[in-house]
A and B are shown apart, each in its own frame.
Chain A
């Protein structure tokens, strides 16, 4: 092949890459929230007893949809939290309780994992998926916890693989 033809060939390839199909934008949608009120109804045995230490949300408290994929491409969801007014004695956990539906697959995240400020792998799958359900657990509640409203924000990040 002459040098000129090689150059033309390389230019064609470069052009093909530059004008290739638009990148598929994987998306994630999280709906729902969890509010827990701890009061005298949560004492282990009425007056004279102390608070239960552990609380759980409903098993389908949060709904997650993975969207935007035109093919059965792989993705991973990482999870973390950012505290507002939080007490360091309280520990928040999350787990996946339902697979949802879609043409691909989903795996991981079915055991409770503690949420921290650092992002950690939660679950992964192939292709779009809707109706993935999550559940929260809170423990570390003691009689030493000052009465207040404590808040945190849970972040779900989907990463295309």
Chain B
């Protein structure tokens, strides 16, 4: 009987320490991938020169002149390498009888450039240069126009001016 009690005690002890021996493994790992892609940004927007320019003459003079138009705004964002410039070109010239000379300038840019000379479109002109990564915000676009009485009929003469960002 005594021997039976001893064996029971022994078995209990074995069972107890077996339970104590059970535990949790130290560590395990897993991963997630994170990828961030930054694209080149080259975004240009120029609003219309609403209201246009009205050319008028003065008595005794053949010149037609008008008040410059400052209604248009230029906005540009560039993120990339190197530098950019913005060009302006009269891509649509009216077929009406006209000898209009049209200039354009952007605030802070390269100064007034002639894009139409006596009714004929010139090549694209650099109106803003040396643009590095960053933003040009709400830059005023100033149009100026002149013509002659004999060369320009009384009419509406619509031009389309195209602005482009170009790598320098």
Asked whether any CB of chain B lies closer than 8 Å to the CB of A107, the reply is no
Complex: how many Å from CA A151 to CA B32?
11
A-B contact count (CB 8 A): 190
Asked whether any CB of chain A lies closer than 8 Å to the CB of B155, the reply is no
Give the distance to chain A from B128, nearest Cβ to Cβ, in Å.
13
**Interfacial residues of chain B within 1-47, with CB under 8 A of chain A in the complex:** 10, 13-41, 43-45
Complex: how many Å from CA A26 to CA B26?
8
Per the CB 8 Å criterion, the residue count for chain A at the interface is 65
Q: Are B34 and A151 in contact (CB under 8 A)?
A: yes
Asked whether any CB of chain B lies closer than 8 Å to the CB of A27, the reply is yes
Complex: how many Å from CA A69 to CA B24?
8
3 tightest A-B CB contacts, nearest first: A20-B21, A48-B75, A160-B24
Other-chain residue from A43, A144, A154 in contact with B41 (beta carbon distance below 8 A)? A43
Q: Are A48 and B76 in contact (CB under 8 A)?
A: yes
Complex: how many Å from CA A161 to CA B31?
21
**Interfacial residues of chain B within 132-168, with CB under 8 A of chain A in the complex:** 133-138
Indicate the size class of the contact surface on chain B.
35 or more
Other-chain residue from A13, A62, A160 in contact with B32 (beta carbon distance below 8 A)? A62
Other-chain residue from B13, B43, B75, B80 in contact with A13 (beta carbon distance below 8 A)? B13
Complex: how many Å from CA A23 to CA B21?
8
Asked whether any CB of chain B lies closer than 8 Å to the CB of A4, the reply is no
List chain A residues, Cβ under 8 A from B81: 146-147
Q: Are B14 and A16 in contact (CB under 8 A)?
A: yes
**Interfacial residues of chain B within 39-97, with CB under 8 A of chain A in the complex:** 39-41, 43-45, 74-77, 79-81
